[in-house]
């Protein structure tokens, strides 16, 4: 068992190259201006702030890489990278349009703090940074009804192998209802569909005991049923890293970044709540890791979940989240 504020460790802590696995963190917030977030973070990490555009800052000096602070609005970021020329009428018109869009975005669009891939043993430092930003006035999902802000993290895969990745998918699908209940997602975020569940036919296909595709089949099956970033566990960045042409041929979204990580998008960002931190969602995610690494328990859980899904309306009399809590977690009796 872990105490509040502690970080659980997954069974697979290293990559196939023997390196400690890394995790990227993304935090959406408001309550502080862009430059305030950048400077507070830079001071905490002993980094230097560089203005890369009107709506983007990079923090240099961390051995893990650059941190990014930005307004989470693709159009404004693109406009903010263009130089304004005061004497040019066209630029004046663009400038006026940009100002209007910025005015509209204020209060609705979050600022986002994005870490580089950090070794897992640095996750407690991220919680300390969150407390630092909270004290300065950072606000999260619960501050306003319009704050559909998320906390996303990107755990590096231990191995880019079909069997390993399939095990993670099976484990996540089995535990999703429990994770979703634990996360208690803000209604506004639910309505935006950023973290949609996987479609039922795909779930049934993957949890089947005979489902063991090669990498091409795994990616193709995913793309057929999930040609979108809007999943609680977005696999497109990982699959793009493995086979970019296969993914791009089906999903042309330029926002998909190729990286050897899972992209877990489910949790809210509750940065303004006392004692909240990455550890809350991370320790739940580690249950996915532990189930994926325990083949016997994973097979049994998939079978039980399949039986539950086959009950149809009988599911109203059976709570799968309770069964997960009582029987399928690593600490269950």
Domain boundaries, the chain: 18-138, 158-333
Residue 196 is predicted with a pLDDT of 80
pLDDT at 3 over 50: no
Side-chain-side CA neighbours of 84 within 13 Å: the count stands at 13
DSSP for 31-75, please give it.
SS-HHHHHHHHHHHHT-EEEEEETTEEEEE--TT--EEEEES-HH
Alpha-carbon gap, residue 234 to 220, rounded angstroms: 15
Residue 141 is predicted with a pLDDT of 78
Residue 143 is predicted with a pLDDT of 57
Query: 187: closest CA among 229, 145, 232?
Result: 145
Residues 282, 8 contacting (CB under 8 angstroms): yes
pLDDT at 37 over 70: yes
Lowest pLDDT segment from 3-12, 171-180, 209-218, 300-309: 3-12
pLDDT at 278 over 80: yes
At 182, give phi and psi (nearest 5°).
-65, -40
Residue 96 is predicted with a pLDDT of 55
């Amino acid at each position: 068992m872990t105490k509040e504020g502690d970080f659980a460790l997954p069974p697979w802590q290293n990559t196939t190259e023997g390196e400690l696995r890394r995790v990227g963190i993304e935090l959406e917030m408001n309550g502080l201006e862009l430059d305030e977030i950048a400077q507070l973070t830079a001071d905490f990490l002993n980094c230097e702030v560089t203005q890369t555009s009107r709506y983007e800052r990079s923090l240099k000096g961390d051995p893990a890489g650059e941190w990014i602070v930005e307004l989470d609005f693709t159009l404004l970021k693109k406009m903010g990278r263009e130089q304004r020329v005061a004497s040019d009428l066209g630029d004046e018109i663009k400038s006026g349009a940009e100002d209007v869009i910025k005015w509209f975005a204020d209060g609705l669009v979050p600022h986002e703090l994005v870490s580089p891939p950090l070794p897992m043993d640095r996750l407690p430092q991220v919680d300390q940074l969150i407390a630092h930003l909270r004290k300065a006035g950072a606000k999260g999902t619960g501050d306003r009804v319009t704050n559909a802000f998320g906390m996303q993290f990107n755990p590096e895969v231990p191995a880019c192998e079909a069997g390993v990745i399939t095990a993670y998918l099976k484990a996540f699908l089995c535990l999703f209802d429990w994770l979703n209940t634990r996360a208690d997602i803000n209604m506004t975020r639910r309505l935006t569909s950023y973290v949609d569940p996987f479609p039922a036919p795909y779930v049934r296909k993957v949890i089947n005991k005979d489902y063991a595709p090669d990498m091409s089949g795994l990616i193709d099956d995913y793309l057929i049923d999930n040609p979108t970033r809007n999943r609680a566990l977005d696999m497109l960045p990982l699959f793009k890293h493995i086979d970019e042409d296969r993914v791009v041929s089906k999903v042309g979204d330029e926002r998909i970044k190729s990286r050897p990580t899972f992209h877990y998008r489910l949790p809210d960002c509750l940065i303004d709540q006392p004692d909240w931190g990455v550890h809350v969602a991370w320790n739940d995610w580690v249950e996915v890791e532990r189930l994926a690494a325990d083949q016997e328990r994973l097979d049994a859980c998939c079978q039980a979940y399949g039986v539950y899904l086959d009950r149809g309306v009988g599911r109203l009399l059976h709570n799968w989240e309770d069964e997960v809590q009582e029987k399928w977690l690593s600490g269950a009796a």
